[in-house]
Amino acid sequence: MSSQAARVDIWRPRGLDQVELHRGTDVTLEYPRHWHDTFYISVVTRGTSRLDVRGASVTTTTHTLGIVPSGEVHANQKTDCTFRCLFIAPDLLRSAIEQFLERSIPAPEFRSGAIADAQAACRFLESHRVLENPSSELERDTLLFGFLQQFVSRHGNAAVAAPKEGAEDSAVLRAKRFLVERYADPVSLGELARLTGLSPFHLNRSFARKVGMPPHAYQLQLRLKRAKGFLGAGRSATEAACMTGFFDQSHFTHHFKRSERMTPAQYQRYRKNLQDNRSHTTYFGCS
């Protein structure tokens, strides 16, 4: 690696043992010819990464996805490269798409190299970042399997069409009621799908179209709304986080700041000032 600041972080998302995520920063390293028993997807956000595969050499950019199917012999050279990549077992890739759509599909096949698709690259990065610390199983499943479904349908050999839209009002209403009742529970997209009788993909698409946001975002808003009530009643941030289903206080504080533009402690001061008829300063710029 090129400097002491260079690093590669590796982790597995909760509940997904056959998925491995890497996040590299300022990496200069040459990987000799090798192969994986997993499917590999990578996007570069800075620097350069070159794939040597099937007698060709391709350079991936910020708007391309580097693809290497399982068993494909390749080499990889990175120079001052910041990147994110995902390794997923081929069987899990196929079964995940089949479970998402609730129908069988042929085994997805891909050509090694670089795929120019800025939208898919952007969606991959969004999913990858969220998978560092997802707010819920709903968010994890929606972003990861949603990306994989779109990726397979656009770039795999198998046609993976979206189901036709129909009268899903009752299914969406049932899902909303369930989330309201179980807002603090670790609900999965598959559980919601079984409840409504739709496939996970169909439910997620219909829910977002009719409600204005996908199920995981709706659940997050429910949790934050309940947390504000607990904070206003004098509960600590730790207690509010635990009572509303967040993994820990830091996770809760991150989402609270993004939503309310203030920390839980600042929110409690704001509520107290209102009760005491005092003025309050709103804190902007929280990240």
| Beta strands 56-60; 19-34: pairing state | unpaired
pLDDT of residue 286: 44
Structure confidence at residue 165 (pLDDT): 56
Joined together, the tokens standing for residue 49 give 């990464």
Amino acid at 60: T
Q: Is the pLDDT of residue 236 over 70?
A: yes
Structure-derived torsion over alpha carbons of residues 22, 26, 32, 34, reported in degrees to the nearest 10? 10
- Give the span between the Cα atoms of 56 and 211, in whole angstroms: 47
User: What's the whole-number mean pLDDT along residues 223-232?
Assistant: 91
Q: What does the mean pLDDT of the chain come to?
A: 84
Residue 285: the pLDDT is 47
Amino acid at 147: F
Phi, psi of 111 (to 5 degrees): -90, 135
Residue with tokens 């999965």: 188
Q: Residue 162: what pLDDT?
A: 55
What is d(CA 205, CA 28) in angstroms, rounded to the nearest whole number? 41
Cross-strand pairs, 113: 67
Predicted confidence (pLDDT) per residue in 75-101, tens digit? 999 999 999 999 998 888 887 777 666
Q: pLDDT (tens digit, 9 = 90+) per residue, 116-133?
A: 999 999 999 999 998 887
Gyration radius (Cα) of the chain, Å = 22
At which residue do the structure tokens 């001052």 appear? Answer: 80
Q: Stretch 159-171: mean pLDDT, rounded?
A: 65
The DSSP bridge partners found for residue 67 are: 41, 113
Residue 4: its pLDDT value, please? 57
Go through the chain and tell me how many residues it has: 287
The token duo for 193 is 């799908």
Q: What is the pLDDT of residues 20-45, one digit of tens each?
A: 999 999 999 888 888 888 999 999 99
Share of the chain above pLDDT 90, in %: 32
- CA distance linking residue 284 with residue 287, whole number of Å: 9
What crossing angle do the helices spanning 249-260 and 264-275 adopt, rounded to 10°?
A: 60
The structural domains of the chain, ordered by start, are: 7-131+140-155 (2.60.120.10)
DSSP bridge partners of 79: 48
How many angstroms from the chain centroid is the CA of residue 155? Answer: 20
Alpha helix positions (H), the chain: 90-101, 118-130, 137-155, 169-181, 189-196, 200-211, 215-232, 237-243, 249-260, 264-275
Cα(249)–Cα(242) distance, integer angstroms? 8
CB contact at 8 A, 183 and 226 = yes
Chain centre to alpha carbon of residue 159: 23
